[in-house]
Chains A and B, each alone.
Chain A
Amino acid sequence: MNDRLSAQYWLHEQELTAYSSEAVRDRRRRAMERFEAVGFPSVRDEDWKYSSLKPVLAPHYGLRPPCAPLEDEHLEFKDIKRFMVNELDSYRVVFLNGRYSSWLSDTTHRGFDVCTLSAAWKKYPETMDRYFAHLTHELGPLAQLNTALSWDGLYVVVPDHVVVDRPIQVLSFTTGSEPRATQMRSLVVLGVNAQAEIIERHQSLTEHPTWTNSVDEAYLAAGAQLRWVKLQHDGPEAALTQHTRIQQARDSRAQVHTVSTSGRFIRNNLDFLLNEPGADARMLGLTLAKGKQLVDHHTLVDHRAAHCTSHENYKGIYDDGAKGVFNGRIYVHEDAQKTDAYQQNANLVLHERAEVNTKPQLEIFADDVKCSHGCTVGQLDEDALFYLRARGIKEPEARALLMLAFAEDAIAGIDHPSLNAKLHKLIAGKLGVDLTLDV
């Protein structure tokens, strides 16, 4: 796999960098060299201790030239409708096997840009030069691989004081008659006081194994606000490895909701770089895993300036032989006085074979800070279950009600009723109940 990927880069470097500055080409090349030097992470790496990539890398993935346009693949709107939040008036950026599908999309350049990287390479080379891979050069091999080989994905650039009027739905579909690996990349740049909201979903439409490796870079100028919902409800043979990195200037706010309900293997890295005072980062996560699923969350809040706040609340429910990992790193630099950081990770383990490894990792080098954290791993409360059943609620519903109640605050704060309804439906479906029960 390693050799095939590197061959792919060297074979297609020309096309990948045809419209880019030399600096960008250097960044790609260095990324490839780094990947070649270290290869894929293994369980010997501290960061990957509990999550072996082996099963993800095992299939013989068909690789296609990274910049090749869509061939004969075709999807109709009716094929993808059920994967979208339909009642929501939104921009739509749809990818099929890693390539933009203009046919299914609804993008814009009016007042701000919501379009694709494949277009931006040609159209906005200066912006790409300024932002591409600036936040990712120190990351691990998967991100390096992505920097070298990615070509398409979401591109959002919003000028100062502009509010993107509708949420942006990004959907990337995988189809085909063989295992497929895809690199997806996104770049989000919000100007001073600009605002945008993204709803992201990766979806495999084939029964063959798929692997999406994605990297997101987001830059928030002073006062900017970004909301991002990651809906990870993929097929049973789908794997997702993702690194999202958000850099925040003064008084900016970023909120990322990660809802992981299905997919064979999910690894999320989510980093917030709080560069200037007043920046606020919020991350909420809900994981419902069963069967042989593995869901691994690695988060980092890098408090680099004083007076920043971060709030993290991740909940997980693990059944059968599912496995979960939560590693929440908070790094408070010496100058980051008056930091206020909160971290909470609570888990329910419903089966003796299910397991979750949770680890807060607080590194605090400033003295005047408020940091609180807590991790719990427990079972459903039997007393509560009996209480509900004694009032006439059947056992499966009572269980589901308790799980929903447990999960609720990890999906709170999603303002769109249709998205909210969709989430609750996914969750109820996952819990195996027809929930007319609203919590």
Chain B
Amino acid sequence: MLEIKNLHASIGDKEILRGVNLTVKPGEVHAIMGPNGSGKSTLSSVIAGREDYEVTSGDILWDGQSILELAPEDRAHLGLFLSFQYPVEIPGVSVSNFVKTALNAVRTARGEEALDASAMLKKMREALQLLEMDKGFLSRSLNEGFSGGEKKRNEIFQMAMLEPRLAILDETDSGLDIDALRIVAQGVNALRSPKASFVVITHYQRLLDYIVPDVVHVLYKGRIVKTGDKSLALDLEERGYDWIKKEAE
């Protein structure tokens, strides 16, 4: 469903992605690991349509169609979801109104009917329950004053509401305590299906105990330099990145 072909992207004259190739099929879970600054978040942003980055060559296909020309919102309407490494604080916009607005925007863009108030409420309750979140969350300003862990949980809450076909989780596990990690993983796993795919970006193999990946990639200096199965994550945990860097250079 997602096919990234020889993707090059830069900001200013700085090339950050230098030929990324990645194919994610329906139902698959891919993990992407890699040292700080290797371009993982940049890759997520480019997939989601952030305009600050210029795609200089290559392509991103969704169901075989290029999405490079699509606005971020259009990509979301296709069923793409990005859980941000650093969710943005937006004072004055409440979680509930934001989620309602987003979900109905996605639904109407797909030609589905907007959910009425009671259906919306029911759906929100279920998602809250799944993520063991208090409903007081809903009336708070989006991410404003949220703890690191609360922000991440809120991202997964939104994912549960939007039910994407492909979710990219950018370090959703950083900043989570052990219980929160389990709960967030639970939220992700609840969404797993033969149709839904995930790209999980993480520094820690621990998350992968809960969300078991089909494939593990290592991104280094803007390229995927190694791909393996979940045992690769264990290797990395044990040996670090030095051997990969050596191999790559």
Interface residues, chain A, CB within 8 Å of chain B? 381-384, 386-395, 397-398, 401-402, 404-406, 408-409, 437-439
Supposing A397-B101, A438-B97, A439-B97 touch, asked if A391 and B91 sit within 8 A by C-beta, the answer is: no
* Shortest distance from the beta carbon of A348 to any chain B beta carbon, whole Å: 13
Name the B residues within 8 Å of A402 (CB-CB). Answer: 90, 93
Q: Give the size range of B's interface with the partner.
A: 20 to 34
Name the B residues within 8 Å of A439 (CB-CB). Answer: 92-94, 97
* Shortest distance from the beta carbon of B142 to any chain A beta carbon, whole Å: 8
B106–A392 CB distance below 8 A: yes
> Is B55 at the interface (CB under 8 A from chain A)?
no
Task: Name the contact of A405 in the complex, choosing from B49, B50, B93, B158 (C-beta under 8 A).
Answer: B93
Name the A residues within 8 Å of B101 (CB-CB). Answer: 393, 397, 401, 437
B73–A395 CB distance below 8 A: yes
Name the A residues within 8 Å of B50 (CB-CB). Answer: 386, 390
B48–A390 CB distance below 8 A: yes
How far, in whole Å, are A381 and B52 apart by their CA atoms in the complex?
Answer: 13
Name the B residues within 8 Å of A383 (CB-CB). Answer: 88
Which residues 53-105 of B sit at the A interface, judged by CB distance below 8 A?
71-73, 75-77, 81-82, 84, 87-88, 90-94, 97-98, 101-103, 105
> Is B180 at the interface (CB under 8 A from chain A)?
no
Name the A residues within 8 Å of B49 (CB-CB). Answer: 389-390
* Shortest distance from the beta carbon of B127 to any chain A beta carbon, whole Å: 14
> Is B156 at the interface (CB under 8 A from chain A)?
no
How far, in whole Å, are A5 and B46 apart by their CA atoms in the complex?
Answer: 65
Task: Name the contact of B158 in the complex, choosing from A381, A391, A438 (C-beta under 8 A).
Answer: A391
Name the A residues within 8 Å of B82 (CB-CB). Answer: 390
Which residues 90-149 of B sit at the A interface, judged by CB distance below 8 A?
90-94, 97-98, 101-103, 105-106, 109
Max chain B C-beta neighbours (<10 A), residue from A382, A388, A392, A398: A392
B73–A409 CB distance below 8 A: no
A-B contact list, 7 entries, CB within 8 Å: A382-B52, A391-B162, A392-B105, A398-B73, A401-B101, A402-B93, A439-B97
Name the B residues within 8 Å of A386 (CB-CB). Answer: 48, 50, 72, 88
Q: Which 6 A-B pairs have the closest CB atoms?
A: A405-B92, A392-B76, A389-B72, A392-B106, A391-B102, A387-B88
Supposing A387-B87, A390-B49, A393-B101 touch, asked if A401 and B71 sit within 8 A by C-beta, the answer is: no
How far, in whole Å, are A384 and B89 apart by their CA atoms in the complex?
Answer: 7
Interface residues, chain B, CB within 8 Å of chain A? 48-50, 52, 71-73, 75-77, 81-82, 84, 87-88, 90-94, 97-98, 101-103, 105-106, 109, 158, 162
Name the A residues within 8 Å of B72 (CB-CB). Answer: 386, 389-390
Name the A residues within 8 Å of B87 (CB-CB). Answer: 387
B73–A389 CB distance below 8 A: yes
A392–B90 CB distance below 8 A: no
Name the A residues within 8 Å of B84 (CB-CB). Answer: 387, 390
Name the B residues within 8 Å of A388 (CB-CB). Answer: 90, 98, 102
Starting from the known contacts A384-B90, A390-B48, A405-B92, 9 additional A-B residue pairs (CB-CB under 8 Å) come to A383-B88, A390-B72, A391-B98, A391-B102, A392-B76, A393-B73, A393-B101, A393-B105, A405-B91
Supposing A387-B87, A438-B97 touch, asked if A392 and B102 sit within 8 A by C-beta, the answer is: yes
Interface of A is mostly: helix
How far, in whole Å, are A402 and B101 apart by their CA atoms in the complex?
Answer: 13
Name the A residues within 8 Å of B77 (CB-CB). Answer: 392
* Shortest distance from the beta carbon of A414 to any chain B beta carbon, whole Å: 16
> In this complex, what residue of A is CB-closest to B87?
A387
Name the B residues within 8 Å of A409 (CB-CB). Answer: 92
> In this complex, what residue of B is CB-closest to A406?
B92
B92–A404 CB distance below 8 A: yes
Name the A residues within 8 Å of B92 (CB-CB). Answer: 404-406, 408-409, 439
Supposing A390-B82, A392-B73 touch, asked if A405 and B109 sit within 8 A by C-beta, the answer is: no
How far, in whole Å, are A383 and B87 apart by their CA atoms in the complex?
Answer: 9
Name the A residues within 8 Å of B109 (CB-CB). Answer: 392
How far, in whole Å, are A406 and B93 apart by their CA atoms in the complex?
Answer: 9
How far, in whole Å, are A408 and B90 apart by their CA atoms in the complex?
Answer: 12
* Shortest distance from the beta carbon of A316 to any chain B beta carbon, whole Å: 15
* Shortest distance from the beta carbon of A117 to any chain B beta carbon, whole Å: 40
* Shortest distance from the beta carbon of B113 to any chain A beta carbon, whole Å: 14
How far, in whole Å, are A388 and B49 apart by their CA atoms in the complex?
Answer: 12
Name the B residues within 8 Å of A395 (CB-CB). Answer: 71, 73
> In this complex, what residue of B is CB-closest to A408?
B92
How far, in whole Å, are A395 and B84 apart by their CA atoms in the complex?
Answer: 19
How far, in whole Å, are A390 and B45 apart by their CA atoms in the complex?
Answer: 9
Name the A residues within 8 Å of B73 (CB-CB). Answer: 389-390, 392-395, 398
* Shortest distance from the beta carbon of A251 to any chain B beta carbon, whole Å: 32
How far, in whole Å, are A388 and B102 apart by their CA atoms in the complex?
Answer: 8
Task: Name the contact of B90 in the complex, choosing from A389, A390, A397, A405 (C-beta under 8 A).
Answer: A405
How far, in whole Å, are A409 and B97 apart by their CA atoms in the complex?
Answer: 16
Name the A residues within 8 Å of B90 (CB-CB). Answer: 381, 384, 387-388, 402, 405
B71–A389 CB distance below 8 A: yes
> In this complex, what residue of B is CB-closest to A438?
B97
A389–B76 CB distance below 8 A: yes
* Shortest distance from the beta carbon of A423 to any chain B beta carbon, whole Å: 15
How far, in whole Å, are A330 and B98 apart by their CA atoms in the complex?
Answer: 38
* Shortest distance from the beta carbon of A431 to any chain B beta carbon, whole Å: 14
* Shortest distance from the beta carbon of B6 to any chain A beta carbon, whole Å: 24
B88–A384 CB distance below 8 A: yes
How far, in whole Å, are A397 and B98 apart by their CA atoms in the complex?
Answer: 11
Max chain B C-beta neighbours (<10 A), residue from A391, A406, A439: A391
How far, in whole Å, are A387 and B105 apart by their CA atoms in the complex?
Answer: 14
Name the A residues within 8 Å of B75 (CB-CB). Answer: 390
Name the A residues within 8 Å of B162 (CB-CB). Answer: 391-392
